[in-house]
Structure 1
Amino acid sequence: MESTGCVVVGGGPAGMMLGLLLARAGVEVTVLEKHGDFLRDFRGDTVHASTIRLIDELGLGAEFRGLPQSRLQNVAFPTPGGGLVTLGNFAALRPPYNYIAMMPQWDFLNFLARAAEQEPTFTLLMEHKATSLMSDGGRVTGIRYVTRDGTEGALRADLVVATDGRHSVLRQAAGLKSKEYPVPFDTWWFKLPRAESERGEVAGIVPAFGDRDAVIALFRDTYYQMGYFAPKGSGDRIKSEGVERFRERIAALRPDLADRLDAIRSLDDLHWLDVRLDRLQRWYIDGLLCIGDAAHAMSPAGGVGINLAVQDAVAAAARLAPALLRGKVTEKDLAAVQRRRQVPTVIIQSVQRFMHRAVFVPLFTGKRSGPPAAVMYLAQHVPVLMGLLPRMIAHGPLPEHAPAFARRVDAGPGKASGTD
């Protein structure tokens, strides 16, 4: 039977970052990804300032900045009078970490994979789907998997880390219980073409609010990734109304994009996301740790899911690499990772729950369109207070730094450092 030091299940941002960091520590690490590549639409594509700083600390800044991307410098909300109020001015943060990079997630994951494959102790197995856990004497000792052609196999490991998302097979297999929080909306993602004259740097993102719905446009090089927000449970109604009615809804929200809505050929061009917000009560059992969405599914509100998952991976690598090199990871080690990352997770999820109650519930019940008046007042009249918001979004409440064993000389414009 095959064996490794650590098996990471799921090749998303948390899994690929953890694999890279552990390999740089000299740990034998194997990452399993069930798909044949990372090329899938409608994943989060925001790389936040704290992650960009981490990339510089890893000595990968020059290559990262060479990837196709746009720079998001603020988030604004429309006012009833037709103006805009900026709620997140990232440009005011200390450079060079004063923006959020907008880039396709597959480019980011391929970038991490290339870096990890330079390490002799790293292995990436594509088209390997984990199906169950192996245990011995009450401790998880590895995973069973199946490949695309149906071949079954098993992989022993000193530690299994589940980074397989909000529908994690492994956390279900371990019987880990989560606390669910209500979410008032679901999201439909789709593409619209982006004209040549509209390309380039992204000054900001402005959501558009309508009558019990909203839409946001995220910028990619040649197209917009559009997110349509509607009340949870409205999926059947949207399907029954058909594609023409859906186009009408988007045109009402974004009339400036009405000239390209024929790009939505049918409702099959929409990708429905059942938005969830939950958090495991306990992120681990002996021999298994859950991080990222496998430990805490995040709402798209604030777009912080990737950043939080990456920060989980950094904290896990810093604590677990020495234990893995010793060949003995204890439950005490796994509990320490949860303690480190639970506080920022609770803070961010609390902010998201507030956003749900203050913005989305009134919107979908027809009581108000847009943020509450108190928030708009604070944004306009208490700039010091509102200056905390972009920092919270860009860096998070507990940004992690690359552990010493993973650092390399930074070739990019940012300097690797251990300070904020």
Structure 2
Amino acid sequence: MPTESTRVLVVGAGPVGMVCALALNRLGVPVTVLESEPAPVRDQRAASIHPSTLEMLDDLGVTEKIRPHGLVSSTYRFHDRQTGDVVAEFDLGRLADEVRFPYVLQYEQYKLTAAIAAEYADESDFDVRFSHTLTGLTETASGVEAEITSPAGAERLRVAYVVGCDGGRSTVRKLAGIDFEGFTYPERFIKIATSFDLRTVRPELSFRNYFSDPAEWANVFKVRGESPGGLWRVILPIGADEDDATALSPERVEQRLQKFLPKTGPYDVEYRDVYGVNQRVAATFRQGRILLAGDSAHVNNPIGGMGMNGGIHDAINLTEKLAKVIAGAAADDVLDLYSRQRRHAAVNYVQAQTIANKRLLEERDPEVRRQNFDALRRTAENFDTARAYMRRAALFDSLHDAAAVT
């Protein structure tokens, strides 16, 4: 039976936690996953899996299994909302000679979580426990003692290491006393999903779109959803003077959609959600035997779809190192290297790029907007600069640079 010297506790059964657990399991490390929710949460959050992440999932045998259930998107477009013009288009097909998957797979994160849980989990060495909440952590000389509550009562679990993949409000991070440095945007975002085919109104839409506008920028993406026709997601900013109840009211949602894409008759809205947005990074991703990955370690705005992808990159980097430590093939200071490498990627790529993406879309100065558009067009039109731009946006550069950190 696994002892505290080999078992790893992963807190959080979202995409990062489940990928982390699967990767550890494939390397021979027994894992227990705790999730406070009673079942996989069908949340409508991240849905874009970048080429770099698809390669990692492919190494785990996951990509080919999920690809038929997602939408393959090789292009993405930047639009000027004021004029309706397409400013630039980037085609990931231009990277076909250097990457395994020259496209983004639009596949909702809750489906990725469920797919891994259904196929691989619930064995003694891959033990997933829903309705289990972490309440305390005590580090010992040889491991960590976790305090857990569940419908059956309180229990204690002794493990070798704990990996916090439990989101931006991470209990693991708080119990470890790790600072979460950064800021919160004054505005909130609203995400609206409609089953109406937006291409009947705007045929120039690709599956991934960014609309620049000084008053109200927008992101527009298509996902598979639960129906053959799929869903279009529209993300818009909400001013600080508008309360959530007003923003979520059917009348206000309809008004927003009609302002963005006017059409005859009302929109069929599948869901809507308002959320606050932060740009924060943990002061360290490792404290003793407690480690952080994904949103527990860094959060960012969703423009560019980098949060879940960066989190999965954390998980793969960490599991390779942690498995060696547990097997006695590496000293545990390699876990400090994990923290340095992935924190570097979070600060210099995920944070920097998502902040820049938001600034690009919301730029108010007409001359600066014109210059930004001209630069974006030139970048997209040139084969070499377009490839460089897409490599960075797909987080390949972040992986390369992080690997060079010692």
TM-score normalised by structure 1 residue count: 0.81
Is 1:101 the counterpart of 2:105? The answer is yes
Q: What are the within-5 Å matches in structure 2 for residues 4-403 of structure 1?
A: 5-66=7-68, 68-79=69-80, 81-94=83-96, 96-117=100-121, 121-136=125-140, 141-147=144-150, 149=151, 151-183=153-185, 185-195=187-197, 203-208=206-211, 212-221=215-224, 222-231=229-238, 233-236=240-243, 239=246, 242-256=249-263, 259-261=265-267, 263=269, 269-326=271-328, 330=332, 332-348=333-349, 349-360=351-362, 362=363, 367=365, 372-382=369-379, 383=382, 384-399=384-399
Q: Root-mean-square deviation (CA), in Å? A: 3.1
SS at 2:304 equivalent: coil
SS at 2:398 equivalent: coil
Q: Is the alpha carbon distance of 1:211 and 1:8 closer, same or farther for their aligned partners in structure 2, counting shifts above 3 Å?
A: same
Identity across matched positions, percent? 21
Deviates more, 1:71-80 or 1:226-235: 226-235
Shift of 1:91: 2.4
CA contact (8 A) 1:87 1:386 kept: no
- Aligned letter for 1:308? G
Shift of 1:20: 0.8
Shift of 1:141: 1.0
Cα distance in 2 for partners of 1:208, 1:356 equals 10
Q: Across the two proteins, how many residue pairs are aligned to each other?
A: 383
Cα distance in 1 for partners of 2:7, 2:366 equals 53
Q: Is the alpha carbon distance of 1:282 and 1:302 closer, same or farther for their aligned partners in structure 2, counting shifts above 3 Å?
A: same
SS at 1:311 equivalent: helix
Cα distance in 1 for partners of 2:327, 2:239 equals 46
- Aligned letter for 1:372? R
SS at 1:397 equivalent: helix
Shift of 1:238: 6.7
Deviates more, 1:16-25 or 1:222-231: 222-231
Q: Deviations over 1:54-74 (max 9, x none)?
A: 2222334432323x1111222
Segments of 5+ residues of structure 2 without an aligned counterpart are 401-406
- Aligned letter for 1:226? R
- Aligned letter for 1:244? E
Cα distance in 1 for partners of 2:14, 2:86 equals 35
Q: Is the alpha carbon distance of 1:240 and 1:121 closer, same or farther for their aligned partners in structure 2, counting shifts above 3 Å?
A: closer
- Aligned letter for 2:398? L
Shift of 1:326: 3.4
Cα distance in 2 for partners of 1:218, 1:154 equals 43
CA contact (8 A) 2:14 2:110 kept: no
CA contact (8 A) 2:212 2:360 kept: no
Cα distance in 2 for partners of 1:168, 1:84 equals 40
Shift of 1:101: 0.3
CA contact (8 A) 1:74 1:86 kept: no
CA contact (8 A) 2:67 2:105 kept: no
Q: Deviations over 1:218-267 (max 9, x none)?
A: 212344252332245244277279531331122111224x6342537xxx
- Aligned letter for 1:116? Y
Cα distance in 2 for partners of 1:388, 1:333 equals 31
Cα distance in 1 for partners of 2:341, 2:248 equals 47
CA contact (8 A) 1:29 1:122 kept: yes
Deviates more, 1:96-105 or 1:112-121: 112-121
Deviates more, 1:116-125 or 1:244-253: 116-125
Identify the residue that residue 404 of structure 2 maps to in structure 1. Answer: none
Shift of 1:87: 4.8
Cα distance in 1 for partners of 2:121, 2:188 equals 37
- Aligned letter for 1:135? E
CA contact (8 A) 2:133 2:148 kept: yes
Q: Is the alpha carbon distance of 1:111 and 1:373 closer, same or farther for their aligned partners in structure 2, counting shifts above 3 Å?
A: same
Cα distance in 2 for partners of 1:396, 1:8 equals 26
- Aligned letter for 1:100? V
Cα distance in 1 for partners of 2:77, 2:294 equals 28
SS at 1:380 equivalent: helix
Shift of 1:150: 6.0
CA contact (8 A) 1:23 1:116 kept: no
Cα distance in 1 for partners of 2:154, 2:330 equals 28
Cα distance in 2 for partners of 1:276, 1:27 equals 34
- Aligned letter for 1:33? E
CA contact (8 A) 2:211 2:361 kept: no
Identify the residue that residue 403 of structure 2 maps to in structure 1. Answer: none
SS at 1:132 equivalent: strand
Q: Is the alpha carbon distance of 1:398 and 1:353 closer, same or farther for their aligned partners in structure 2, counting shifts above 3 Å?
A: closer
Identify the residue that residue 405 of structure 1 maps to in structure 2. Answer: none
- Aligned letter for 2:22? L
Cα distance in 1 for partners of 2:161, 2:50 equals 29
Deviates more, 1:333-342 or 1:56-65: 56-65
CA contact (8 A) 1:287 1:329 kept: no
Shift of 1:182: 4.8
